[in-house]
Amino acid sequence: MSATTAEITAPARPSTLRLLLRDVGAAISLVLVLLSILLAVFAPWLAPNDPYDTNLMAIMQPPGGEYWLGTDGQGRDMLSRMLFGLRVTLTMGALSLAIGGSIGVLMGFCAAYYRRLDAVLMRLVDIMLSFPAILFGLAIAAIFGPGVTAVVIALSVATIPLMARIARSTALVVLGLDYIEAARAQGMGDARLIWRHLAPNCLSPILVFATLRFGQVILLGSALSFLGLGAQAPVAELGAMASQGRTFLFFAPHISVIPCAAIFVVVLAFNVLGDSLRDALDPRLRV
Amino acid sequence: MPTGFLKRALLGVATLAGLAATLPAAAQTTRNTAIFLREIDADRYDLHRSTARGAGEVVTLMTDTLVSMDWDGRTIRPGLAERWEISPDGKTYTFHLRRDVTFCDGKPMTAADVVYSINRWISPETRSPVAWRAGSVKEVRARDDYTVEYELNAPFSELLSQLTLFFAGIIDRVTVERLGANFGSQGFNGTGPYCWASWTPRSELLLTRHPTYRWGPPIFENRGPAHVERILWRVVPEPTARLAALQTGQADVTQYVPTVAIDSVRRVPTVTLLTQPNYFWDYYLGFKIDKPVVSDRALRRAVHQAVDRTALVRAVWFGHAEPALNIVNPNTLDYDAHSDTLVPRFDMAAAQRTLEEAGWRMGPDGVRVKDGVRASFLTYGINTLENQRQGEIIQQALRRVGIEMRIQLFDATVAWGRMATQEFDALFLSYPYFSAGDALSLYWHSRARPTPNRMNWNDPETDAWLDEARSATDPAVRARALANVQRRLAEEAPWLTTARENLYVGHSNRVSGLRAHGLYGIGIYKALDMRIVR
Amino acid sequence: MLRHAVQRLMMAVPVMFGVLLVGFLLMQVVPTDPAVVRAGPNASAEIIGQIRSDLGLDQPLPVQFGLYLWRLLQGDLGVSIINNVPVSQELGATIGPTLELMFASLIWSIPLGIAMGTIAAYLRGSWLDRLVMAFSVAGVSVPVFFLGLVLIWFVGFQWQLLPFTGRAGPLWTIEGLRAVALPAITLGGVFVGPIARMTRTAVLDVLGADHVRTARAKGLPEHLVVLRHALRNAMVPVVTLIGLQIGFLLGGAVVTEQVFSWPGVGRLAVGAITSSDFPMAQGTIIVLSMGFIVVNLIVDLLYGVLDPRVRTA
């Protein structure tokens, strides 16, 4: 029996970043996430060729040689198309998350803060959750025509209810805290309360969820493009490129496989990062 | 010992299994069924209302025509008519019908059915886009139960060839009246070697053997009934899936082998690739010459100069198609060689010059402008692999010279409806023909507007030449008239003909007795000699 | 128990109504006039007008909605404007294959996921545990079509082990089973990971609980502890997760059906939308959403069965 006379002090909590970096997987994924964002942002400067330029003398070239990642079915440089494609894919995801997230978080806060609105808003959320995201994507594409806009609208709407739920449950926890009561007793206005006290305390779980959600949004967006309802030819987008390369799967697999692999790596990086963020921010969840 | 939860889980599984029991069964056994694959479905199978090859390839199996086409693509053979006479002035054809023909429902076929079918085809109410193929009909009448008199207003030298096409198939009036608008989508009744069983649009169409069929065309060894009990037409839009299905024996026949795979398929021992030289199937990009931007002849000629058709065809068809110049294939009857020389050749610099000289100045966004109008046009087409790829390539080629080409491709079931409107400026399409006269009459007469003359070509001289060619009894007169049309079209360039495709019919070693026919682009015609050998 | 079930049902009704309303409204926003599409390319104005009043399109919106609900209750979902086949008929023919596909995917992925998660929890900290976790994260990150294409390429084409060109018969026939194998592996493959992970988390949670410690103290062997005590309670969050994932599964099914030419509702829906067949598109979307609500309801009720605490709430 060890004596329990050792000092009982709460261990000093290391910073989130340091916790993250201790985990090799998380460190690598952080690097990958930053790398993919950089590649996407600087694609126009990094791409060696015009992603739309067809070289009919060099169709379906394998990787290596003049074109580092080979060429696709119309003789376009895969490397350039990958960079621009990554750009479109990530932009679609980021926009959807930003728009859907903002609206959703606002809804969630309102539901938590104004108890009278709670039932109505959550019923609305339930209804929105009743539509599987991909079918909503199909419907929007039917009405507005296929394209990146349709995908962004669909994914934003699909993200709203999930963000609303997490914002609401987090806000409910925070609103139960004493100092919020105190602030309210002091007569602090609603808007100020939400902005100054509620939001910052809810930030961490929402951010974690957003990171995890980003991966899903990218998968959904590329799936919609794969079905032909997202980015339209000749625009480069990873899911659309994977779909176009299907025809030549047995002859030039790199045309499909490289975009698929890119989607996989990016989503994996965001997922691992999100997991590690969640573990780092709330040790209770770590198992 | 299953816990309460496990018990409930098992119950759930059992329920799902019960649900699964309500599933539709696919083809009971594939042993007596030949599986045919294709890329797209047809909008419907009413032979007078659809001109799609997708419709034709099925209708050809479900109906018979008065006369049939031999393997060489020119010689006419008996069909439902055992023999026929043509009057000296070329205006009256008398067909003597076989007496042993029955419809799929058992009803005997008589001259009245022939008269009904032809009349429905050419009736203004039906609005068939290819009613002209029947000729300028004065009257079609039944002299008795087995003799049909087909009287024209003017001679039509190609009438018999046209009557071998599936539009001239004989159908049953009672069934048509019963089904009304659903004829060809929910039911059918013809005399062909196979009968309509069921159709799941965009998925499967099942045909069953016509058991009393005995009147197959003489070009087959087996005159009927067919050896194979059922034919299942499967729509498989994925080229890789079609290819793999053929190679692994999951499907038996297809003429829609992706061109990228033709060479490798030839090396597969379990697959045989049939071909047919008497096959004319062209791809084109057509312009509505009365729409803004594309009404400018200079711009259309510049399009010809901007597109390297040789490279395009090699890239998209991998050597299994010929690049085209003018409208008509050099191997067809009444082809005019001189018109080919009038077609603008590929020359990027010349394209830029043509546009500049016509007043199209380069705009800030890389698109040329003339009188405030941007050089931009909207193109429709059916969503096939070829159209996707050649579309992107041509789009990029035009972008290089400052023309913006917008493309919208549609699923085959709706594309025909969209392409019948005036809402687009250009379209991708492909079509079959067996002679210059056939090809030119189909598209370029003013009365063929709005479809199939989607170009809205309206030129009195063209009309005069085409009318002259149709009723000409002297081949030289006909050839000269058609040559004039070809030259006019080469100069005005309302059409960019891209590729002349080869026909390949692939079949697994599970079936034998197949031969590629090619009439109207259709690979398998009647399938009477087809057998399942394992 | 009954009261809980009724309560849940009552809450689902407004949700269903909302779905119907939204589905109806969505199709009103459609830019193409269904009457024009139905009339065909060369129709005159009178024919279009006739069709419009036949379809009831000239009535005020609330009346149209009422008509639409009334027809829905009778099972009339309208008629495909492409070929005049009733939507309900096409749905009836395609729902089976989709359910078959989803069933085939779940029947192997759920047990495998639970087993993997339990083993990982049991062998916590070992390399096997880490492998399971890595596999789980990878599974959630891989696009469904990637997995499908790779399976087609290798298993279907290179090794020619299994077919991949669509349904070949009911599940209980050999051909049917072989045909559903690759699609089911593709669709289920994404599922295994999250289930394994959630099971592991839940089992570990429960293993720390009081009643489990009591069982251990009583001298019960560890594996029995895990199986009899931990697993049952761990099923609660797992079932919840499965319920939440059904929507995701549906989305995956749409893509899987496309890749494998599987004749299910997903492919029907995509085809209807690309063909602008609005009654069909509307019908498929509504039916799928209703199905999703029903499944959620079942999961909710199952939750009540598994966790007695919920029932008395």
pLDDT band for C36, please (50, 70, 90 cuts): low
Sequence-distant (6+) residues with CB within 8 A of C66 are none
In angstroms, the CA C126 to CA A172 distance is 38
Is C229 touching B (CB cutoff 8 A)?
no
DSSP label at B508? E
Is C275 touching A (CB cutoff 8 A)?
no
Q: Higher-confidence residue: A175 or C306?
A: A175
Q: What is the pTM of this model?
A: 0.82
Q: For position A132, what pLDDT does the model report?
A: 74
Q: Phi and psi dihedrals of B32, rounded to 5?
A: -110, 20
For A251, the closest of B260, B308, B395 (CB atoms) is B260
3-state secondary structure of B396: helix
For B44, the closest of C83, C259, C276 (CB atoms) is C83
Q: Which of C223, C205, C199, C193 has its CA nearest to residue C132?
A: C193
Q: For position B3, what pLDDT does the model report?
A: 47
CB contact under 8 A, A131 and C285: yes
Sequence-distant (6+) residues with CB within 8 A of B213 are B191, B192, B193, B224, B225, B226
Is A227 touching C (CB cutoff 8 A)?
yes
Q: Higher-confidence residue: B244 or C30?
A: B244
Q: Is-contact B61 B231, C-beta < 8 A?
A: yes
CA C27 to chain centre: 23
Q: Which residue of chain A is at minimal alpha-carbon distance from C253? A: A134
In the numeric block, which tokens belong to residue B225?
Answer: 């009934």
* pLDDT score of C79 more than 80: no
CB contact under 8 A, C170 and B23: yes
Q: Higher-confidence residue: A185 or A95?
A: A95
pLDDT band for A1, please (50, 70, 90 cuts): very low
Instruction: Determine the distance in angstroms separating the CA of C312 from the nearest CA of chain B, rounded to an integer.
Output: 19
For C99, the closest of B8, B19, B204 (CB atoms) is B19
In the numeric block, which tokens belong to residue B372?
Answer: 């405030």
Q: Which of B188, B193, B191, B186 has its CA nearest to residue B208?
A: B193
Instruction: Determine the distance in angstroms separating the CA of A185 from the nearest CA of chain C, rounded to an integer.
Output: 32
**What's the CA dihedral at B130, B133, B139, B140 to 10 degrees?**
-100
Q: For position A143, what pLDDT does the model report?
A: 74
Query: 10 Å Cβ neighbour count for B366?
Result: 12
**Chain C environment of A129 (Cβ under 8 Å):** 247
For A263, the closest of C143, C200, C250 (CB atoms) is C143
Q: For position C310, what pLDDT does the model report?
A: 54
Q: For position C133, what pLDDT does the model report?
A: 85
In the numeric block, which tokens belong to residue B137?
Answer: 């009909």
Q: For position A20, what pLDDT does the model report?
A: 58
Q: For position A16, what pLDDT does the model report?
A: 61
In the numeric block, which tokens belong to residue B520?
Answer: 């109207």
In the numeric block, which tokens belong to residue A201?
Answer: 């305390």
Query: 10 Å Cβ neighbour count for C311?
Result: 14
pLDDT band for C313, please (50, 70, 90 cuts): very low
Q: Which residue of chain C is at minimal alpha-carbon distance from B421? A: C41
Interface size, chain B vs chain C, as Cβ–Cβ contacts under 8 Å:
124
CB contact under 8 A, C140 and A130: no
Q: Is-contact B495 B327, C-beta < 8 A?
A: yes
**Residue to substitute from A57, A74, A76, A256, interface B, most B β-carbons within 10 A:** A74
CB contact under 8 A, C15 and A143: no
H-assigned helices in C123-143: 127-141
Q: Which of A177, A169, A209, A207 has its CA nearest to residue A193?
A: A177
Q: Is-contact C266 C144, C-beta < 8 A?
A: no
**Chain B environment of A247 (Cβ under 8 Å):** 238-240, 258, 260, 385
Interface of C with B in 27-46 (CB under 8 A): 37, 40-42
CB contact under 8 A, A227 and C254: yes
SS3 track for chain A: CCCCCCCCCCCCCCCHHHHHHHCHHHHHHHHHHHHHHHHHHCHHHHCCCCCCCCCCCCCCCCCECCECCCECCCCCEHHHHHHHHHHHHHHHHHHHHHHHHHHHHHHHHHHHHCHHHHHHHHHHHHHHHCCCHHHHHHHHHHHHCCCHHHHHHHHHHHHHHHHHHHHHHHHHHHHCCHHHHHHHHCCCCHHHHHHHHHHHHHHHHHHHHHHHHHHHHHHHHHHHHHCCCCCCCCCCCHHHHHHHHHHHCCCCCHHHHHHHHHHHHHHHHHHHHHHHHHHHHCHHHCC
CA B400 to chain centre: 33
Is B127 touching C (CB cutoff 8 A)?
yes
Query: Can you give the length of chain B in residues?
Result: 534
In angstroms, the CA B79 to CA A210 distance is 70
CB contact under 8 A, B392 and A234: yes
Cα dist. B70→A79, B218, C131 in Å? 52, 9, 66
CB contact under 8 A, A250 and B240: yes
pLDDT band for C40, please (50, 70, 90 cuts): low
Q: For position A85, what pLDDT does the model report?
A: 95
In angstroms, the CA B336 to CA B69 distance is 25
Interface residues of chain A, partner chain B, Cβ below 8 Å: 52-54, 56-57, 59, 73-75, 233-234, 244, 246-251
* Placement of tokens 């009459």 in the chain: B441
In angstroms, the CA B404 to CA B383 distance is 20
In angstroms, the CA A163 to CA A105 distance is 6
Count CA atoms within 13 Å of residue B257 on its CB side.
33
Q: For position B257, what pLDDT does the model report?
A: 93
Count CA atoms within 13 Å of residue C140 on its CB side.
26
Q: For position B6, what pLDDT does the model report?
A: 52
Is A143 touching C (CB cutoff 8 A)?
yes
What average pLDDT does the segment A57-71 reach? 91
The one-letter amino acid code at C176 reads: G
pLDDT tens digit string along C94-113? 899 999 999 999 999 989 99
In angstroms, the CA B157 to CA B166 distance is 19
CB contact under 8 A, B417 and C37: yes
For A248, the closest of B260, B308, B393 (CB atoms) is B260
Q: Is-contact C283 A149, C-beta < 8 A?
A: no
Tell me which chains share at least 3 CB pairs under 8 Å with chain B.
Answer: A, C
**Chain C environment of B200 (Cβ under 8 Å):** 90, 93, 263
- pLDDT averaged per 10 residues in sequence order, chain B, 534 residues: 49 50 44 91 89 93 96 92 94 95 95 96 90 92 95 92 95 94 91 94 90 95 94 88 85 93 92 92 95 95 96 93 92 91 94 95 94 95 92 95 93 80 94 92 90 92 94 90 95 95 94 94 94 89
**Chain C environment of A220 (Cβ under 8 Å):** 251
Instruction: Determine the distance in angstroms separating the CA of C289 from the nearest CA of chain B, rounded to an integer.
Output: 19
pLDDT tens digit string along A103-118? 999 898 888 888 888 8
* pLDDT score of C143 more than 80: yes
